[in-house]
Amino acid sequence: MFVLKQSESYVWPVTVEFPIDGGKFKKESFDAEFKRISESRIKEATKQVIDGELNDNDFAKEILVGWSSVSDENGNEVPYTESTKAKLLDFPLVAKAIVLAFFDSLSGTKRKN
């Protein structure tokens, strides 16, 4: 049976590939909690991205509502707050990875990390 009401958010893995010395990449992952948005908003956001009206950072701000497995340089868990979200999104490549993971979550197939 299909239930017409769903939770307001869900958790999905995000993998970020950071460039490192020697032309290589280092993969780091965390679990993002994504806001569940309507199909009409998904289509609107996709069009806005294509038209250059919405960038990855702004869309990531909209859809990211929590996380787990994010730590500081000492290995301490970093709690989700609006301030720590802004700090995370200030890292290059992170917003793009969040947006890609969000759209992967909508594709109906699980991504292998």
CA distance 43 to 41: 5
Q: How confident is the model over 39-43, as a mean pLDDT? A: 94
State how far the Cα of 66 lies from the Cα of 101, in Å rounded to an integer.
14
Of residues 113 and 35, more confidence is placed in 35
Q: Model confidence at 110, in pLDDT bands (50, 70, 90)? A: low
pTM here is 0.88
pLDDT of residue 80: 97
Q: What confidence score (pLDDT) does residue 55 get?
A: 95
